[in-house]
Every structure is written in C-alpha cells, then in structure tokens.
Amino acid sequence: MANIKELAKQEEKLSAGHRACSGCTAPMVVRMLYMAAGDTPLVIGCATGCLEVTTTIFPNTSWKTSFIHSAFENSAATVSGVEAAYKSLKKQGRYDRDVRFVAFGGDGGTYDIGFQSLSGAMERGHNMVYVCYNNEAYMNTGVQRSSATPKFGETTTSPVGSVEPGKKQFPKDLTEIMVAHSIPYVAQASPSMWNDLITKFQKALNCGGPAFVNVLSPCRLGWAFPSEKAVSIGRDAVNTCVWPLYEVVDGQYKITYKPREKKPVDEYLKQQTRYRHLFRPGGEAALAEIQANVDSKWERLKRLAGEA
C-alpha cells in the first residue's frame, strides 16, 4: 500500500497555475499517477480534452515529464507507437533507460471517439497504462452526453423536459470490456480514495503489459456541485456502490474497498444538479430503477470476486 509520508517527500511533477476548474479532480488523478511512478521516467500521451487544454495552452505547459498531445481519437495509438519505438531502440542497444508509457483520455476520448485505438493497443499487448479520467460527459465541449453518462443524467444533448427524462440508457461498462481483452491489469478507482488509487497505479505501471485504469473524476461544471465537494462526492459514489472499487489481475477479480454500510444512491445523486429532476414528484420510479441497477451490478461483482 502507498505510504503518505514517503509520497509527500516527492517533487511535484504537475506544476501549479494550470487552468483546470477549481475542484477539478483530473489534476488529482495525474498527481497520484506521478506519486505512484516515483523516480521512474514517464512518457505521457493525452487526448484533446479538459486535461490537455487546461495544462498545455501554448506556449506554456504544466507537465514536467515528456508529454505528447494527441488528437481526440488516438491517444492510445500514439503512445503504443512510441512504446514500440522504445522497444526497438532497446533491442538495438541504442537506449538503456527504463521508461514507462501512459496514455490519458477523458470518457469522450476513451469510451467513444478513441475506443478503436484503445482496443487495438490493448489487444496488441503494448506495455503501457491507459488512464481514463471519467467525468461522464464531453465536458470540454459543452457537457454533451457520452456513452459513460449515467441513465437519467441531464446534459445539453440529453435534456430534461416534459417528454425526455435525461439520458435514456445506462452507461457502457468499459471496465468490463477491457477485462474481455485479457490484459494483465484492469481496475476501477477514484481520487477520493487516494491510497487505493495510488496502489493501483503502482500495480498498473509494473504489471509488464497493457493496463487500463478507469478513474471516476467528479466534474463540478457538468455535475453541478460546489467545487469544495468534489472529493466527498467521489467518496459517496464509492460508498453507494455506484462506482465500486475493484481490480482484475490476470483475470482474477478482487474488490479493493467494501463500504462498511452501503448507502442508498439518492444520497449521492441529490448533491448533483444534473439529477435534480429525479427529486421532483414523479421521479420515484427512476430513482428505484437506478438503485436496482446498482444493487444488481454490486451483487454480480461480489460473485465474480468469489464473495457472494
């Protein structure tokens, strides 16, 4: 497990002064990745999105390691190409440093637009870590729905009105899709549980093959909550089992955090303006449907982990 005293001694590798929103959790995810890597050199690739536009506005950059800005759709392809070149140089004896490769993408650039390059990189077996900072919509371009947006969530392209209830579909389970690629390491995590996240990053960086970490990243803009609540809302997502924390190592499931008392989902949802319509008269059935879905997936996860 990660040691907070040792981590606090490390140099900060993501500079302050970037332009992320107050309360944004994406920079927290990056900082925890750097903590997990320690002194190991990293090559970072990042798809166009919130994280890229807030940290690399020309001519400035917040990144103190090698950084490649990729197009929206090809962060995984770019990093897999660099990783392949690195292996070739080492085989030729032209480079001898130990380097790790990481690709970042939001849910739009991961679940949707970049899915083909992600799937290809994982299937080919590149020794790289793909990190999805999942804020559950296309936040950088105006809060449009993605396939990671939860059912009944309000966005600019899944509006709530007299006819529409918000998004009509449950989100794609990308973590399970990555498990189906039979890669060495897959995990779900949250920056609200720092020790769990850093430990998972350490495992991902050292698993010896492709790894995927899906990190729930509460967005104060698109989810509409006060900026100081970002960490507590992420913790509520975990404690309601809306976002369970688990890992799959070589096909073996393990739940890495079990709430002492599983909270009802409405304690999580009611804090976010994107769900305010569910707490008006007539929203009871939708809340019950969300709770039933969360309960069903939690029980399935426990069975997969041998804890049923």
Residue-level pLDDT at 4: 78
Query: 241: alpha, beta or left, given left = phi > 0 and alpha = psi -120 to 50?
Result: left
Record the pTM. 0.97
Residue-level pLDDT at 3: 79
Nearest to 246 by CA among 190, 167, 285: 190
In Å, what is the CA distance from 147 to each residue of 24, 218, 219, 226, 292? 21, 16, 16, 25, 20
pLDDT tens series, the chain, 308 aa: 677 788 888 889 999 889 999 999 999 999 999 999 999 999 999 999 999 999 998 899 999 999 999 999 999 999 999 999 999 999 999 999 999 999 999 999 999 999 999 999 999 999 999 999 999 999 999 999 999 999 999 999 999 998 899 999 999 999 999 999 999 999 999 999 999 999 999 999 999 999 999 999 999 999 999 999 999 999 999 999 999 999 999 999 999 999 999 999 999 999 999 999 999 999 999 999 999 999 999 999 999 999 97
Q: What is the 3-state secondary structure (H, E, C) of 116-141?
A: HHHHHHHHHCCCCEEEEEECCCECCC
Residue-level pLDDT at 58: 87
Token output for 183: 């890669």
Q: Are strands 100-106 and 66-70 parallel, antiparallel or unpaired?
A: unpaired
Residue-level pLDDT at 308: 76
Residue-level pLDDT at 8: 81
- Cα separation, 24 vs 5, in Å, equals 24
Q: In the beta sheet, which residues pair with residue 133?
A: 106, 215
Chain-centroid distance of CA 15 in Å reads 21
The rounded radius of gyration (Å) of the Cα atoms in the chain is 19
- CATH H superfamily, domain 4-304: Thiamin diphosphate (ThDP)-binding fold, Pyr/PP domains (3.40.50.970)
Contact 287, 265 (CB under 8 A): yes
